[in-house]
Amino acid sequence: MSPVLEMRSISKAFTAVKALDQVDFDCRAGEVHVICGENGAGKSTLMKVLGGSYRPDEGEIRLDGAPVRFQHPREARAAGISIVHQELSLLPFRSVAENIFTGMEPTRWGLLDRRQMDERARALLQRLGSSIPTGAQVADLSIAEQQLVEIAKAMLLDAKVLVMDEPTAALDDRDAHALLRLISRMKAEGVAIIYISHRMPEVMAIADRITVLKDGRLVWTRDRQDATVNAIVTAMVGRELQDFYPARAATEPGQSVLQIRGAGNRHLRDIDMVARAGEIVGIAGLEDSGKGALAQALFGDQPFTQGEVEIGGKPVVLHSPRQAIAAGVGYLPGDRKREGIVPRQSVRDNALLTLQAMAAVLSLPNAGVRSVAEADRNLRTMDVRAGDFGQEIATLSGGNQQKAIIARWLMQNPDLFVFVEPTRGIDVAAKAAIYETMRALANEGRAIVMISSDLPEIVGVSDRILVMHQGRIAGELPGGAEEGAVMQLALGVTGNAAEREMV
Amino acid sequence: MQLRTILAATLAVAFSTTAYAQEFNDPAEFKKQRELLSTKAEGPEGKPWEQHLGGGMVDTAKFKKDGPHTICFSNAGVFNPWRVVGLNNMKGEAELQKARIKELIVLDGEGKDDKQISDIQSLLDGGKCDVLIVSPTTTAALTPAVEAACEKLPVIVFDRGVNTKCPVTYIHPVGGYGFGITSAEFIASKLPKGSNVLALRIVPGVDVLETRYSAAKSIFDEAGINVIGSEFTGSDRAKTKSVVEDYINRGEKIDAVWMDAGDTATAALEAFEDAGLPYPVISGEDQQDFLRKWQKDNLVAIAPSYPTYQWRTPIIAALDILDGKQVPGPEWNLPQPAITQETLASYIDERMPPLHYSLCGCQDLPGYPEQWGGK
Amino acid sequence: MSVNATPVAMTRRGFRDVPVPVVVIALAALIYVTAAIVTGQANQISAAGLTGLLQRTVALGLVGLGQTFAILVGSIDLSVAALISTVAVLASYLMQGDPSMIVPAIAACVALSLGVGAINGVLVAYWGINPLIATLSTGLILQGLLSASFTFLSGSVAPSFQALAYQNLLGVPLPVLLLAVFALAAWFVLAKTRFGAHLYAAGGNPDGAKLAGLRVQRLVLGAHVIASFAACVAGLYLAARLQSGTPWIGRDGIYDLESIAIVVIGGTLLSGGKGGVLGTIAGVLLFASLDASFNMFGVDAFLKQVLRGAIVIAAVSVYAVRNRGHVA
Amino acid sequence: MTVLLNAVRPTRRRTAWLSVNLALVIFVVLYGVIAILQPNYLDAALFMNFLRRAAPLIILACGQLFVILSGGFDLSMGAVVTLVVLAASMLIGGDPDMTWTVIAILYAMGLAVGLANGLIVSFLKVPSIIATLGTMLLVNGLALAWSGGAPRGDLPDNFRNLGRLVLKDVPLVGSLPIAVVILVVVTLLAWWGLHATAYGKRLLAVGDNPRAAELAGVPVKPTRISAFVVSALSAVTAGILIGGFSGVSVNAGRGLELQAIAACVIGGAQLLGGRGTIVGALFGALSLFALFTLLNLLGLPQALRDSLQGLILIAAVGVTVLRYRRST
């Protein structure tokens, strides 16, 4: 069977950097072709070339055998290439139907045909197994629902080629599984699907073929049967990663650093938990289980309204991030771009920000030369790769930005660290580095609370796992527990039902 | 110097589109106002706001009505001290006549023609007014609204006119040419031929101001006095001072300063003080700060006026009209005196604020001086 | 692009659900009626009084409708005041009272304003200059050229043109009808056409809109052209109403800042993507009824300014205070 | 403001001093032309006088920069200047003994206005462009209502001297206006506050990404409020200098807020926050003022001053944008 899409010798350079170098890629009708690669490997650039956002410097794209050149995304879209973007591209204040039809609005007598929009949107969503009301405003939907709208938008035109760029990054396991089921269905309908992901289990579950990119070059393309996780990871990072997850704590955890009794607020109820020095406590749960709310409460961002919290044995009030920081809490936000970095400031200033925030208002910005040196040392410890720490942080890759924010907290030396989705959207090598840092921080006697939607990560990294369901802690599991057991608690159902959900 | 000319010319060419300026040089009006300046006023002695210079009388019997009356006033706005003092005069006059007035309704146009038109409309719709006084923002713009009002009420227009004869009377002092004539003739009389005068003006394009400059310019030309510059200051003291400083720094000799309105006169004088130069001959206006400085520093100066007492006249006219008495009209020319060295002392009142206009004719009104900001 | 997905409890009922324009219109009516009753001028609630009220909305309303387009695409237009002056002056200068010049004069004004809109659009959308700075600058340039070229009231419009501003049709003043037609057209474009939907998309999420195949730059340019066209109509209306334009009617009318204020008071988001015509009309009605009420109460000119400032803040804060994020 | 945000893309740090350079270059060129036309502008005394006159605008620009860096605008500055000049004359009433007390009161008023702006933006979540538009109307109205539309009372010499007195025969510089001393002190203070304290870094972070700043422990609301306070206090300082330079006037301060914003922008500050320097604002303001002076010297029609200001603004921002583009 000849491929629907062929990309031949695609090259694209930005000023000095070659983002793509002679990359060949193709995709057949009815197959799922997964692209793997570290951040910066060129995956997104390749897809932007395909989608008409970038024009390639050299190379050729053929669709159904005919060469095409896209000047604008609209041309790619018209040619049958649909892209589900990693960053949501929705309009928050418009309805679901309006969002799905953006740029493709049906008209009747030259006017918007809203009835047709509603009907077709409803049909599309039904096909995706969703019953989101088409008139709902997108801002009122959950992230998962928004992701579905995004997919419906991409499927509006009977696409020949459907590109999904980390579509499960924002989804919890339940929603991710639903999405994977959908993909198999579309595959059966003969759509050529290009799928980008960092989640290895997912990749192995749905791929027909796998392509690995590294540093803008094609490493290899193989059938799934001929690829192993190890081979993929090795190809991605260029070396073997034996111990992806670091070893668990060798010693027994020490004294309790964090103790919560009977705490709750609008989203949380009856929270009792302990985190001890030297351990990593994983918090798992579905999207709306309250695990995010727990992190926010621990950091005083959305405070507890009842119950008691002790840190280091002393009762504390956590009504604002500042109070939490003063009480010895560090916090790595889940959304790096919106909640982590201050993009136009230097890498160094980003690392120094909390120190500056907690210092006396009119003190020297860097509290003396010492702190600059310390910031640089921490940045180097975290292996932040930047030409110069004075460079704007927005120019760094996501993984490096994340490391710089961890460096920010190293300056603060907190007793309790809250990590929210620490590796979301980060490539494999940076992931491993972050896990190692977390373990090292724990080994130095800190307590770590890690909130994550990534089940393997929860299971692989945590010493203990707390699973949340409907605003409560539904149960506790030891580190290394079966993923299924975690899921079972997260869903709040019996074992068999959970198994069914998983399929 | 040559470079400057070239630069200026290039820029001017680059920017000049269809440069268009309305003609403000009306020799007939110039002549008329020059005559009016020396016309003997008719009316009560010492009450210039009740006097008139020549002109006829109009019969108003048809407007006779039983009192007390509601007088409505559509004001252009109170965007400068002159209008603030004026409005206080009008309110003072109304207070003085309160036995005959039920209410004085004042709507403020905020300097927007469009709003003033609507204001007049809503006064008519409100149905309370017995007579309407209008001080228009711009002549042409308010004409249709005034015409509409004339059909329902007796209308009195003052300060600026309208392009219609329908109002019962149009009250105004001699006018802009008169102002320019008085001030420029004084300066010309104090300086030899070939002297330099700097003209400081507020903004371009305002009829009542342009005529002042046009009159002064022709007198200076006649007398052989050079107008070395004509600059707009926007009534901004800092700007005025800077402009004068720039002229001084340029090394030009300034023998006299002519101003089309006096509110920044003291700022202009300060520029000379700061530069350590003697004061020039100057024409200002009848504000207290200028008069005091004049007296204190023995300036060679004159203060022509566009007297604020004209704001009293419309109330008087309105009541007369509603009583069916004859009033001067259709144009009511008020005297437009100037303050000279001889009369200076009598116009200075230390109790009054610096920007108070001395020719307010308000000394006998109730509430003086507190209502006018005095002590 | 982030979509505000903070899980708001699903108990959004009551006051929060009432659309902003409705609240603002109710407020405007309340203020006006209260003023009329308290000051014993109940006749201001008559047809004549209300017509007078509507008449006050025309100029600002027209500009505001155009401004709505600019703000909806996430831009802003500060050049409208200068453009209004320019159009008003140009119209009266070209007509010089000659009815045969009405059409050429209007054509020239429209052409000029479309040009200004296009320049704004190019600077903002294609050159990437911050819209505040870009339109402030074009406004300054226009104002300067205008004041330098026309030092005074230049000519006057043709009498038959002027009549348009003063005539009634079925008891309603023509200008009010003009505003109504314009508002209806604007509403129609925004709510019923693809172009309108695309404007919302361009403002709500420019990157997303581009990926969905929209030509965002063209849309922003289009919105600016519409904003300038609306300012042109307002300028022509003012020229007709005032017989001749002065080079400062736009500036004195503060049409730039006031038009932004009414759009925002009407619930349109300054960042774009949300809002609409009804809100703008509500905003201008609020301003007009304030004006009329101040008149009825005889509020002192300076105090009026104080109250207006306070009300602008209060009106916007009523719903802005619900925002959970940071505002700058 | 999505389009606003996207207007200038984040890039290399080089651009920060590139834009400072640009303002410096513009200033040097303009002043050079002035000096060619009028060679005595190269005298120390005349340069000092130039600085004396530029001092209020520079001080305003420094204050405005704090608000711009925090991501907002302060449109109320001009009104604060008006308030200061009127209030000073009313409160002092010509009594030299009152001067220092009154100056303290003026700063208290500025503090109140700044706090009001900051609180409205931070807690009522009204976008600053609207909030400060409201306070602009409000403060201006209050000042005029209080003074009855015309200032009462004179400013005594010891108050006037702050803006007017020039010390002669000062070593090194020859003549030295008090205003220049104040200017230097204020600029150094502003530089210290912004570039030499933790506070400055917080301010940049708040303007850059308020949510991230909050989660890094920055007290976002107090920081933002303080920016408005700094801005209002700088307006008070400028008001005192303007009152001192030229005396009481109701027009003092009109339009200065836009000039201050323009100065910051010419100096390379990024609207909506995150990037900008005091040195940039300083040279931006000097450039603008040099432009005004040059136009005065050329004797060009007053109006063209606006046009040229507009052109310079577009050019300055346009060049910056193009440079950013090229470096990405």
Q: Which residues form the domain of C130? A: 59-275
Cβ of C252 within 8 Å of Cβ of B112? The answer is yes
Euclidean distance between CA atoms A177 and A174, whole angstroms = 5
- Chain C: give the shortest CA distance to residue A231, in Å: 34
Determine the pLDDT at residue C16. 57
* Residue C239 lies inside a defined structural domain of this protein: yes
First vs last Cα of chain C: how many Å apart?
19
| Residue A169: pLDDT over 90 | no
Query: Does B15 contact D304 at a Cβ distance shorter than 8 Å?
Result: yes
Its CATH architecture, for the domain B176-304, is 3-Layer(aba) Sandwich (3.40)
In-domain check, residue A287: yes
Contact A342 D219 (CB under 8 A): no
Q: pLDDT band at C13, cuts 50/70/90?
A: very low
Does residue A333 lie in a domain region? no
Q: Which residue of C has its CA nearest to A82?
A: C212
C313 within domain boundaries: no
Q: Assess if residue D72 is contained within a domain.
A: yes
Q: Is the pLDDT of residue D10 over 60?
A: no
| Chain D residue with Cα closest to A321 | D217
How many domains, chain D?
1
The verdict on A25 and A126 lying in the same domain is: yes
Lowest mean pLDDT among A136-150, D67-81, D297-311: D297-311
Q: What is the pLDDT of residues C236-249, one digit of tens each?
A: 999 998 887 778 88
The whole-angstrom distance between A299's CA and the closest CA on chain D is 8
- Using the beta-carbon criterion (under 8 Å), do B22 and C151 form an inter-chain contact? yes
- Could A363 and D197 be called an inter-chain contact, meaning their C-beta atoms sit closer than 8 Å? yes
What mean pLDDT, rounded, does chain B reach?
88
According to the model, what pLDDT value does residue B9 have? 45
Number of domains in chain A: 3
Does position A357 have pLDDT exceeding 50, yes or no?
yes
Residue A313 and residue A461 in one domain: yes
CB contact under 8 A, D89 and B354: yes
Cα–Cα distance between A33 and B343 in angstroms, integer?
A: 101
pTM score, whole prediction: 0.88
Q: Give the model's confidence band at C2: pLDDT under 50 very low, under 70 low, under 90 confident, else very high.
A: very low
Question: Who among B105, B117, B126 is closest to C241 (CB)?
Answer: B117
| D195 C-beta neighbours (distance < 10 Å), count | 14
pLDDT digits (tens, 9 = 90+) for B304-317: 999 999 999 999 99
Q: How many domains does chain C have?
A: 1
* Comparison of pLDDT for C224 and B141, the residue scoring more: C224
In chain B, which residue's Cα lies nearest the Cα of D155?
B354
Q: Which residues contact D241 (CB under 8 A, 6 or more apart)?
A: D55, D56, D59, D162, D163, D179, D182
Q: Report the half-sphere exposure of A73 (CA within 13 A, side-chain side).
A: 22
Between the CA of residue A14 and those of A19, A54, C101, C151, what are the distances in Å? 7, 11, 56, 53
Per-residue pLDDT tens digits for A382-425: 888 887 888 888 888 778 888 999 999 988 889 999 999 988 77
* List of chain D residues whose C-beta atoms are within 8 Å of the C-beta of residue B243: 296
Q: Which residue type, as a one-letter code, is found at position A461?
A: V
pLDDT per residue as tens digits for the range B95-107: 999 899 999 999 9
Asked whether the predicted pLDDT for residue B19 surpasses 60, the reply is no
- Cα distances (angstroms) measured from residue A423 to each of A426, C64, D205: 5, 47, 24
Distance CA B202, CA B181 (A): 18
Do A403 and A291 lie in a common domain?
Answer: no
Say whether B16 and C148 touch across the interface (CB within 8 A).
Answer: yes
Residue D219 lies in a domain: yes
Please check the confidence at residue B279 and state whether its pLDDT lies above 90: yes
| DSSP-derived secondary structure for A102-138 | TT---EETTEE-HHHHHHHHHHHHHHTT----TTSBG
The minimum CA-CA distance between A98 and chain C, rounded to whole Å, is 8
Give the C-alpha separation, B194 to A489, whole Å: 102
Partners of D174 in the β-ladder = D170
Neighbours of chain B (3+ CB pairs under 8 A): C, D
Are A131 and A232 in the same domain? yes
Model confidence at A495, pLDDT cuts 50, 70, 90, reads: very low
Interchain contact, C273 vs A91, CB within 8 Å: yes
CB-nearest partner of A92 from C8, C204, C213: C204
pLDDT score for A500: 40
Chain C residues 165-224 within an 8 A CB cutoff of chain D: 203-206, 220
Bridge partners, residue B28, by sequence:
none
Whether A253 and A446 have beta carbons less than 8 Å apart is answered as: no
State the pLDDT at residue D83. 95
Residues comprising chain C, all counted: 328
Mean pLDDT of chain C: 86
Considering chain A, what percentage of its residues have pLDDT values greater than 90? 30
What is the token pair recorded at B362? 């308000």
Q: Do C247 and B110 touch (CB under 8 A)?
A: no
Are residues A350 and A228 part of one domain?
A: no
Confidence of residue C15 (pLDDT cuts 50, 70, 90): low
Q: Pick D305's closest partner by Cβ from C124, C144, C325.
A: C144
Asked if A343's CB is within 8 angstroms of D274's CB, the reply is yes
The Cα–Cα gap between A397 and A420 comes to 19
Task: Identify the closest residue of chain C to A266 by CA–CA distance.
Answer: C9
Mean pLDDT of D17-27: 73
Question: Where is the domain boundary, A210, A237, A264?
Answer: A237
Q: Is A458 in the same domain as A434?
A: yes
Are A105 and A95 within 8 A, CB to CB? no
Taking only the tens place, the pLDDT of each residue in B224-246 is: 999 998 888 888 888 899 889 88
E strands, A123-255, are 161-165, 192-196, 209-214, 217-223
Answer yes or no: is pLDDT of D214 > 70: yes
pLDDT tens, position by position, C291-318: 889 988 888 888 888 998 998 898 888 7
Same domain, A107 and A253: no
User: Sign of dihedral through CA atoms D135, D140, D141, D145?
Assistant: positive
- Structural domain contains residue D208: yes
Average model confidence (pLDDT) across chain D: 86
Same-domain check for residues A290 and A421: yes
pLDDT score recorded for residue A16: 59
User: How much is the pLDDT for A73?
Assistant: 86
Q: What is the pLDDT of residue A88?
A: 66
Cβ contact D298–B356 (<8 Å): no
Backbone angles phi, psi at C183, to 5 degrees: -65, -45
pLDDT at residue D154, rounded to an integer: 79
pLDDT at position A309: 93
Q: How would residue B1 be classed by pLDDT, with cut points 50, 70 and 90? A: very low
Q: Which residues of D touch A354 (CB under 8 A)?
A: 216-217
Domain around A399 = 343-413
CB within 8 Å: A364 and D270: no
D220 phi, psi to nearest 5 deg: -65, -50
Which of A183, A214, A237 corresponds to the end of one domain?
A237
From chain C, pick out residues whose CB is under 8 angstroms from the CB of D309: 137, 140, 144
Residue D179 has pLDDT above 80, yes or no: yes
A touches B, CB cut-off 8 Å, minimum 3 pairs: no
* Mean pLDDT across C38-65: 85
Query: Mean of the pLDDT values across residues D3-22?
Result: 46
CB pairs under 8 A between A and C: 108
Which residues are within 8 A (CB) of A235 and not within 5 positions of it... i.e. 6 or more apart? A36, A212, A214, A219, A220
Give the pLDDT confidence score for residue A503 in this predicted structure. 36
**Which chains does chain A touch, 3 or more C-beta pairs < 8 A?**
C, D
Q: Would you state the structure tokens that stand for residue A38, as one six-digit string? A: 């570290």
User: pLDDT confidence of C170, banded at 50, 70, 90?
Assistant: confident
Summarize the confidence of residues C109-134 as an average pLDDT: 93
Q: Where residue A487 falls among pLDDT bands split at 50, 70, 90?
A: confident
Is A474 among the domain residues?
yes
Identify the residue with better confidence: B132 or D270: B132
Domain made up of B52-173+307-334: CATH architecture: 3-Layer(aba) Sandwich (3.40)
Q: Which domain covers residue D222, as residue numbers?
A: 55-327
Give the pLDDT band of residue A170 (cuts 50, 70, 90).
Answer: low
Residue D125 lies in a domain: yes
What was the pLDDT predicted at D5? 35
Chain B residues whose CB is inside 8 A of the C44 CB are: 122, 125-126
Q: Which of C32, C50, C153 to mutate to test the interface with B (most CBs of B within 10 A)?
A: C153
Quote the crossing angle between the two packed helices D304-327 and B2-15, to the nearest 10°: 80
Whether A391 sits inside 8 A of D270 (CB atoms) is no
CB atoms within 10 A of CB D100: 11
pLDDT value at A71 more than 90: no
| Region A434-447 average pLDDT | 90
Residue D9 contacts A, CB cutoff 8 Å = no
pLDDT at C104 over 80: yes
Q: What's A438's domain CATH number?
A: 3.40.50.300
Of A115-129, A240-254, C79-93, the range with the highest mean pLDDT is C79-93
- Is residue A183's pLDDT more than 70? yes
Counted across chains B and D, CB pairs separated by less than 8 A come out at 112
Residues A394 and A255 in one domain: no
Residues of C in contact with B121 (CB under 8 A): 52, 55
pLDDT band at C3 (very low <50, low <70, confident <90, very high): very low
Å between A141 CA and nearest CA of chain C: 6
Q: Which residues on chain C place their C-beta less than 8 Å from a C-beta of chain A?
A: 1-5, 7-9, 191-194, 196-198, 200-201, 204-205, 207-215, 269, 273-274
Ranges of CATH 3.40.50.2300 domains, chain B: 52-173+307-334, 176-304
Instruction: Tell me the shortest Cα–Cα distance from C119 to chain A, in angstroms.
Output: 23
- The answer to whether the Cβ–Cβ distance between D49 and B266 falls below 8 Å is no
Residue D324 reports pLDDT greater than 70? no
Residue D256 lies in a domain: yes
How many CB atoms neighbour CB A499 within 10 A? 13
Q: Is A336 a domain residue? A: no
Nearest Cα of chain C lies from the Cα of D171 at a distance, in angstroms, of 43
Q: How far is CA A173 from CA A79, A491, B353, in A?
A: 33, 10, 78
DSSP B204: T
Determine, for residues D307 and C145 on separate chains, whether the beta-carbon distance falls below 8 Å: yes
Is D203 within 8 Å of chain A by CB? no
| pLDDT(C8) > 70 | no
D89 vs A: CB within 8 A: no
Taking the CA of residue D288 and the nearest CA in chain C, the distance in Å comes to 13
CA A52 distance to own-chain centroid: 24
Which is higher by pLDDT, B346 or A16? B346
Stretch D102-119: mean pLDDT:
96
Nearest Cβ partner for D251 among B204, B234, B374: B234
D19 pLDDT exceeds 60?
no
Best residue of C73, C219, C302 to probe chain D, by most D CBs closer than 10 Å = C302
Chains A and D touch (3+ CB pairs under 8 A): yes
